[in-house]
Chain A
Amino acid sequence: MTEFLEMGGYGAFVWPAYGAVALVMFGLWISSRRFVKSTEAELATLTLKRETTDET
């Protein structure tokens, strides 16, 4: 296990590279998901508001 983590003495370069990839990919995914969720919620509120205005 230690040998695996050491990566032949280059662990300090290999792991940050994989870590950065994980961070960026996860970050992009989560921000995109939030973007969809927040716009969906806002759209639902707006259409509901308009529906109520139309009825009155």
Chain B
Amino acid sequence: MFHRFANPTRFLKLADIIQPWAAGLTLVFLGAGLYFGLIASPSDYQQSDTVRIMYVHVPSAWMAMFCYTAMAISSAVGLIWKHPLADLAARATAPIGAGFTFLALLTGSLWGKPMWGTWWVWDARLTSVLVLFFMYLGYMALQNAFDDPARGTKASSILALVGFVNVPIIKFSVDWWNTLHQPASVIKMGGPAIHSSMLIPLILMALAFKAYYIWVMLMRIRGEVNAGKIRALRLRQVHGGAPTYPNGGAPTGSNDGARLNGGAPVDPDLSKEAG
């Protein structure tokens, strides 16, 4: 399964099919989530309408952890099996994860001020999420800190794996330490402790964010594959090398570059250099 999609051309063909569905699902879930979240759901008896911040805050926080987990797994697959697309998937995930972590922090702050009386508190949950945000930024900075992209990818993959220790700390921080933040109320033993009228918009928004992630991540992988091909072509231009075909001389027109230039042969091995 993994190796079947190690070929970027095959993967991008699959992405072509998935992307419009992911885009459609994002809009549908987002529309429904906003309707239920802002209009159809009741305000909370204690928190009044500030509870509506939950419908964007909680899914953002879930995405922050989900994206980091996806990034760490992709980095591990890239490091261990040298899967060419795994590194690109990790690279494509980082800015999305950073965006959602920023949103989790910002919307949490906007919810905290009216309910806790403070924008920020240095407790375990908030601090560990802030550390997660810095891990994302560090990952992206490290990736671009080397002239050789392969070295940048390796260094940042190791950082992603080391930083993964923070994810369970975030999840269990509310149980391990005293905090202003409430404990888990959806994903917990014995089922969710939240009324269905509030659970519905929460789940819809979470699904919208997931579909959005797939949509944008696939888009970014496509960009990364292109960027890899550009790097390879530039290198060839600099070295003045004639095109070589590993299959014994026959140019194959089945890769993505061929489609872009109207069917002219492009080295099939270019795709391997992506990333």
Contact = CB atoms under 8 A, between A and B. Distances in A.
Interface in A19-41: 20-21, 24-25, 27-29, 31-33, 35-36, 39-40
Nearest to A14: B52
Given A13-B50, A25-B212, A40 B260 contact: yes
A11 B219 CA distance: 35
B261 A47 contact: yes
Given A10-B48, A46-B234, A51-B261, A17 B111 contact: yes
Contacts of B48: 8-10
Interface residues of A, number: 34
Interface string B235-255: 011000011000000000000
Interface of A: 4, 7-11, 13-14, 16-18, 20-21, 24-25, 27-29, 31-33, 35-36, 39-40, 42-44, 46-48, 50-51, 54
Interface of B: 38-39, 43, 48-50, 52-53, 56-57, 60, 95-96, 99-100, 102-103, 106-107, 110-111, 113-114, 212, 215-216, 219-220, 222-223, 226-227, 229-230, 233-234, 236-237, 242-243, 257, 260-261, 264, 266
